[in-house]
Structure 1
Amino acid sequence: MFRIGLLSDTHGLLRPEALAFLRGSDHIVHAGDICDASILDQLAAIAPLTAVRGNNDVGPWAERLPETCVVDVGGLRLCVLHDIAQLRLDPADGVQAVVTGHSHKPRIAREGGVLYVNPGSCGPRRFTLPVAAAELLVDGGEATARIQELV
């Protein structure tokens, strides 16, 4: 079993609860709106990291991050981007999962054989939305997702 920890929209706040949830991950994906480069260092200290730039990520450190990436992790092909409205590829072309952020609303859906996961926001609380992260569990090339409310 391969565990991919998912988070998004930290907005400069990496909560201890998020770090605790991510411990034990084989890989971590941050789907943008990081807002502080030191967060990437903290996550990379736990597990290999894939991160994309969100609309609030600015400055030289953020310019080094891609807006979208496709990566093979744990036998799974993932497409990672911040805002699903900017999805430009056909996920059915070999992509098994799409990880996004931006809305701050946790969501898991399967459409056309592709797993879509938005882990929600694990940074500052926004309105009445939950503070959450997620995980992908990969076994034999098949993935299941789970949302975890943190506080």
Structure 2
Amino acid sequence: MKKIGLLSDTHGFFHPRIPGFFAGCDEIWHAGDVGSLSVIDQLETLAVVRAVYGNIDGQEIRKRFPEINLFTVEGLKVLMIHIGGYPGRYLPKVRKLIEEHRPGLFISGHSHILKVMPDQRHHLLHINPGAAGNSGFHKSITLVRFKIENGRPSDLEILDIDRKKRLA
């Protein structure tokens, strides 16, 4: 069993509640638009970090992380990309990747909108963790954590912080 912390769209901002919410996580996954390697450095003090780069990320982050990250954890195949869409509205490139690799979990960011949706057609769970940063139109800063055991995600929890109270 592994405990996973998931976030996206930090845009260089490291919220002070991240360490507490991700305490005890075995891995932290960042779904792009990191904004600054200092965010990764801080996350790495908490757990192993897997990430993808997003459309705002510069060369430092693009050299360190891929656009597409396909990996397996505890028997669960995971596909992560920053801009991917969601069930029924995947980008053509993403739909092709899903059909080719058949992940059980698809993670994307970019929209700044938290979404957790089953995709019955492709037999997977889609998670967009929303935005953990302070740039953009979103009203809430959101973080997700969950467990993976025997090839299945479970015990999904969400931290939803009013952006106006972002330091509380």
Instruction: State the TM-score, normalized to the length of structure 1.
Output: 0.90
User: What is the one-letter code of the residue matched to 2:115?
Assistant: R
Secondary structure, aligned partner of 1:89: helix
**Superposition map of 1:18-97 within 5 A:** 18-84=18-84, 85=91, 86-87=93-94, 88-91=96-99, 93-97=101-105
| Deviation, structure 1 residue 92 | 7.3
Q: Percent identity?
A: 32
Q: Do the aligned partners of residues 140 and 39 (structure 1) sit closer, same or farther apart at CA in structure 2, a change above 3 Å counting?
A: same
1:81-123, Cα deviation, whole Å (9 max, x unpaired): 1011352402574411011100000000011320000010011
Q: CA contact under 8 A between 2:30 and 2:52: conserved in structure 1?
A: yes
Instruction: State the TM-score, normalized to the length of structure 2.
Output: 0.81
User: What is the one-letter code of the residue matched to 1:103?
Assistant: S
Whole-angstrom CA distance in 2 between matches of 1:17 and 1:9: 15
| Deviation, structure 1 residue 34 | 0.4
| Deviation, structure 1 residue 28 | 0.8
User: What is the one-letter code of the residue matched to 2:108?
Assistant: T
The count of aligned residue pairs is 151
In structure 1, the residue matched to 2:108 is 100
- For structure 1, the 5+ residue unaligned runs are none
- For structure 2, the 5+ residue unaligned runs are 85-90, 163-168
Secondary structure, aligned partner of 1:28: strand
Q: CA contact under 8 A between 1:105 and 1:129: conserved in structure 2?
A: no
1:148 aligns with 2:159: yes
Q: CA contact under 8 A between 2:28 and 2:50: conserved in structure 1?
A: yes
Whole-angstrom CA distance in 1 between matches of 2:99 and 2:141: 27
User: What is the one-letter code of the residue matched to 2:153?
Assistant: A
In structure 2, the residue matched to 1:138 is 148
In structure 2, the residue matched to 1:118 is 128
1:55-97, Cα deviation, whole Å (9 max, x unpaired): 0001234333210110112332111110113524025744110
Q: Do the aligned partners of residues 20 and 91 (structure 1) sit closer, same or farther apart at CA in structure 2, a change above 3 Å counting?
A: farther
Secondary structure, aligned partner of 2:58: coil
User: What is the one-letter code of the residue matched to 2:83?
Assistant: D
Whole-angstrom CA distance in 2 between matches of 1:92 and 1:132: 30
